[in-house]
Amino acid sequence: MADQTFPIPGTLDAGRSRGAALLEWLHSWVVTVDHKKLGILYMVYALVFLLVAGSEAVAIRIQLAIPNNHFLSPELYNEFFTMHGTTMVFLVGMTFIFGFGNYFVPLMIGARDMAFPRLNAFSFWMTAFGGLFLYFSFIGGFGLYGMGSAPDVTWWAYAPLTAKAFSPGHNTDYWALALIVSGFGTLGAAINILATVFSMRCRGMTLLRMPLFVWLMVVTSGDTLIVITPLTAAQVMLIIDRYLGGHFFDTQAGGSATVWMHFFWIFGHPEVYVLILPAFGIASEVIQVFSRKAIFGYPAMVAASVGIAFVSLSVWAHHMFTIGMTSVSNAFFALSTMMVGIPTGIKIFNWVATMWGGRIRFATPMLFCTAFVFQFLMAGLTGIMLAVAPWDWQLHNSYFVIAHFHYTLTGSFVFCIFAAIYYWYPKITGRMLSEKLGKWHFWLFFIGFHVTFDTMHFLGILGMPRSIYTYQADRGWNTLNMIVSAGGIIQAIAVLILVWNMMDSFLHGAAAGNDPWDAWTLEWSVPSPPPAYNFATDPVVRSRRPLWDLKHPNDPDWKYER
Amino acid sequence: MQRRRSLPLTRYRVCFLALACMRAMPSVAQGALTTPSIMAPASTPAHEIYALSQFVLAITGAIFVVVGGLLAFIIVRFRERRTDAEHEPAQIYGSTQVELAWTVIPVLIVVVLFLTTARIIFAIQDAPEPKTALDVTVVGHQFWWEFRYPKLGIVTANELHVPVSTPSAPEPTYMQLLSADVDHSFWVPQLGGKTDLIPNHPNQMWMDPEKAGLYLGQCAQFCGVEHAKMLIRVYVDTPDQFAAWVKAQQQPGAQDAATAAGRHVFETEACANCHTISGTGAKGTFGPDLTHLMSRATIAAGAADNTPDNLRSWIHDPNTLKPGALMPAMQLSDKETDEVVAYLTTLH
């Protein structure tokens, strides 16, 4: 069904023009319900927005490189940092995980497609139109006459700055409506992943034999269902406030600004875990294959993932230590936040134990994953510092926080996404990415990352708050800001190398074959790229590493696994 | 083998580098005198947070060294070598004892961290207000600060004066935090953590600066276009200085016949709708109180120095100094502007 061609007016079988063939090819992408094609669409979409939001970050850093700079106007700066955050979380992060999830969950559990192919297509296009709508704000409305109506209220959009009185144009409307639309897409994708995993596993694939990436997609999808809902509800209330005279968050009419904060962060904090959990899944796959060892403590890894998902639902108010909660609430949320450190610690120790005694092959995916473990350790430790509520009274909304969450979202999430691109690109396209360019990409990005974000910690300690479009020259922040900006440029160059590598290797890369990494999960048992419907015959598995069993018939996993 | 021998050397280098970084940290963290560093506390809450942060840094630093070191060792020791045997390494699937160990140890660390944290939360947040305390009401506005001293009958803006507080004569400052429009956050790092100013949600915070001087800070919660130029200056005065300042601030606005023309313009044009100058007809409350404008070092919440030239360009068009400020361009003639500036510069 998926690749069925539809007649396009003006084309007949005999001697079709090139233009018609192109149209038909494009048409096949628009109408597809194939999980692999939709997965590719998600990933390309995420990559495009990664470049867009990355450019915004570069503009932000040029503006902040020197004090009292006039590169961006305050209005445009506020739009850029709002859009950078919103884009990276909703249009890059969420779409990357559902892209990889869409493509690889069915392959890894031995299924021929997702449970609901049409819902799958619907979800993607909702997400896509949400993103396009968000970016239409730059040119829509008054945009053609000036700076546009892009959202400029920060990605957490605190009330009452979003009320009609303080945000009179359509900036806030674009933000809320675009995220409601893409939110429905996200919910559909999450439901689809859950249904697929619970109903379409191949014979022998018990829940405790699923690859960890699949497990983490399950956990993340469950979390998504729980946390996107309050966000959508809050945004609907916001629109009611703005257009139907509601007073949920309208403080001038007795509404509550803090209720918005609770709604937003009960979404906002678990959202970080929604993004990082699949990254854990990617790291778990890559680290075992490139260490040539089975994952250490698989049941502990699964339990820790589920544990993180549960605990993450009880920590949201650590974003609100400064809003004047009672001392008891502050203590509670300090404790619950610190408790996240326990299951995440277990995961780090298990990765380290997996590498211990292995024969570690530092191909590009493994380079990214090793850097990830190191950076995630650091992110976890700065997270503990921020959980210490009194210290957070100092660090909150400073550049220290920016550094901390970029350690989790760039240093951990994006590093794993890059690892996944290098790891699975051969499966998706049938061609290898250039290792030489890959190493250039890794080292430049790694160095740029640390130059930028290590330095940011110090800026926060020196009292520089976030969200400011410029700063005073006498604060002692000048040199550090220049260093941060330089690191940003290095990262931008590294990402361009990745894009070049992906395009060049698509045409000229070495043929990948079925199983270039000598890996163990089911997706490597089919040709690259996998044929329509993936498996010619339904696979049967007896362990967590079916291809290991196949390659080592005398010493299969199922003899040892518990 | 070549690589192996160079390993100790590398280790020494790494150790040396780490030591050098740690040595450099306090000096970097202190920064220039005008740097609002959280590592240079000058008030009890800031000191308590600083001490707690050192304790947490020590624990997290130790974890970082142990786990990071282990990871570094693994990267060097277990990377693939040409001399390696062809077959796969031994497969180890896990160990309940080991898992238990690295679950229990973090639990213990969390217990210690939590108890220390909770102690400081209660110590700072629930500290009872002493009778000798100075009360200040802070009102956040887009994009400036209003400071009211209810017991002293003083209203001023952007530059907070508080007395120094010594153990022998404690006079802490207790602040009631309100907002006139959107969320803001009061943050002067050397004097304490930040607390948000939220409409319909009054908050409190306190500080007891131990040394006279100027302390800088700024709004720490995004509040609109000019969030970046919503700066705070806290002047910690000696008891004598503070008493003198209070006395001066309690006077009505200066009356100088030479600048009566400027005062007339101020009272009859739109200025009076938003600004107050006590002793005159100007009673607006939307903008900062200007009764003692010249006692302040800056205008526009720290966006510019308080000089006649800056006052003139500010009145002509606030957007030149602070694009997005809510004060409109006043559309006065050059003569009127000069007169108003001449009048304002008498308001000591």
Mean pLDDT to the nearest integer, A418-426:
97
| Span A463-503, pLDDT tens digits | 999 999 999 999 999 999 999 999 999 999 999 999 999 99
Evaluate if residue B266 carries a pLDDT over 60.
Answer: yes
Residue type, B153: G
Of B106, B122, B323, the CB nearest to A341: B106
The Cα A353–Cα A376 span in angstroms is 16
Of the candidates B74, B105, B125, which is a domain's last residue? B125
pLDDT at residue A512, as a whole number: 93
Computed over every residue of chain B, the mean pLDDT equals 90
**B28: containing domain:** 2-125
Of the candidates B107, B125, B143, which is a domain's last residue? B125
Of the candidates B91, B125, B159, which is a domain's last residue? B125
Evaluate if residue B81 carries a pLDDT over 70.
Answer: yes
C-alpha distances (whole Å) from A318 to each of A294, A308, A312, A385 are 36, 16, 11, 11
Query: Chain B within 8 Å of A560 (Cβ-Cβ)?
Result: yes
Residue type, B293: L
Of B78, B221, B224, the CB nearest to A355: B78
B209 φ/ψ angles, rounded to the nearest 5 degrees: -55, 135
Residue B261 falls inside a structural domain: yes
The Cα A182–Cα A87 span in angstroms is 11
* CATH value at residue B334: 2.60.40.420
- The minimum CA-CA distance between B144 and chain A, rounded to whole Å, is 15
With CB atoms and an 8 Å threshold, state whether B57 touches A362: no
Interface of A with B in 298-327 (CB under 8 A): 298-300, 322-324, 327
Residue B29 falls inside a structural domain: yes
Residue B26: cis peptide before it, omega within 30 degrees of 0: no
Residue B291 falls inside a structural domain: yes
Residue B156 falls inside a structural domain: no
Which range, of A141-155, A275-289, A462-476, A523-537, averages the lowest pLDDT? A141-155
The Cα A557–Cα A294 span in angstroms is 9
pLDDT at residue A238, as a whole number: 96
pLDDT at residue A216, as a whole number: 97
Which three-class secondary structure string do you get for A322-367? Answer: CCCCCHHHHHHHHHHHHHHHHHHHHHHHHHHHHHCCCCECCCHHHH
| Span A358-391, pLDDT tens digits | 999 999 999 999 999 999 999 999 999 999 999 9
Of A166, A394, A560, the CB nearest to B193: A394
| Span B47-68, pLDDT tens digits | 999 999 999 999 999 999 999 9
Residue B272 falls inside a structural domain: yes
Residue type, A368: F
Residue B161 falls inside a structural domain: no
Domains in chain A, CATH or no CATH each: 1-31 (no CATH), 32-559 (1.20.210.10)
Local confidence band at B318 (pLDDT 50, 70, 90 cut-offs): very high
| Span B145-192, pLDDT tens digits | 999 999 999 999 999 999 999 999 899 999 999 999 999 999 999 999
Interface predicted TM-score (ipTM) of this complex, two decimals? 0.91
Give the count of domains, chain B: 2
The Cα A215–Cα A299 span in angstroms is 11
pLDDT at residue B84, as a whole number: 74
Q: What are the E-state strand segments in A40-143? A: none
A465 φ/ψ angles, rounded to the nearest 5 degrees: -80, 160
Query: To probe the interface with A, which of B27, B219, B222, B319 has the most A CB atoms within 10 Å?
Result: B222
Interface of A with B in 240-259 (CB under 8 A): 251-252, 254-258
Share of chain B above pLDDT 90, in %: 83
| Span A217-246, pLDDT tens digits | 999 999 999 999 999 999 999 999 999 999
Tokens read off for A298: 């698989």
* CATH value at residue B16: 1.10.287.90
pLDDT at residue A527, as a whole number: 94
A338 — alpha (psi -120 to 50), left (phi > 0) or beta?
A: alpha
Which uninterrupted H or E stretch holds A395?
Answer: helix A389-395
Three-class secondary structure of residue A219 per DSSP: helix
With CB atoms and an 8 Å threshold, state whether B224 touches A161: yes
Residue B181 falls inside a structural domain: no
pLDDT at residue B6, as a whole number: 46
C-alpha gyration radius of chain A: 24
pLDDT at residue B31, as a whole number: 44
Mean pLDDT to the nearest integer, A74-80:
93
pLDDT at residue B87, as a whole number: 82
Is the pLDDT higher at B33 or at A297? A297
Residue B106 falls inside a structural domain: yes
3-state helix, strand, coil in chain B (%, to 5): 45, 20, 40
Which among B298, B330, B322, B309 has a CA at the least distance from the CA of B234? B298
Local confidence band at B321 (pLDDT 50, 70, 90 cut-offs): very high
Of B35, B52, B229, the CB nearest to A463: B35
A23 φ/ψ angles, rounded to the nearest 5 degrees: -60, -45
The Cα B182–Cα B204 span in angstroms is 17
pLDDT at residue B99, as a whole number: 93
Which uninterrupted H or E stretch holds B147?
Answer: strand B144-149
CB atoms within 10 A of CB B159: 20
Which among A210, A205, A374 has a CA at the least distance from the CA of A298? A210
Computed over every residue of chain A, the mean pLDDT equals 93
B79 has which bridge partners? A360
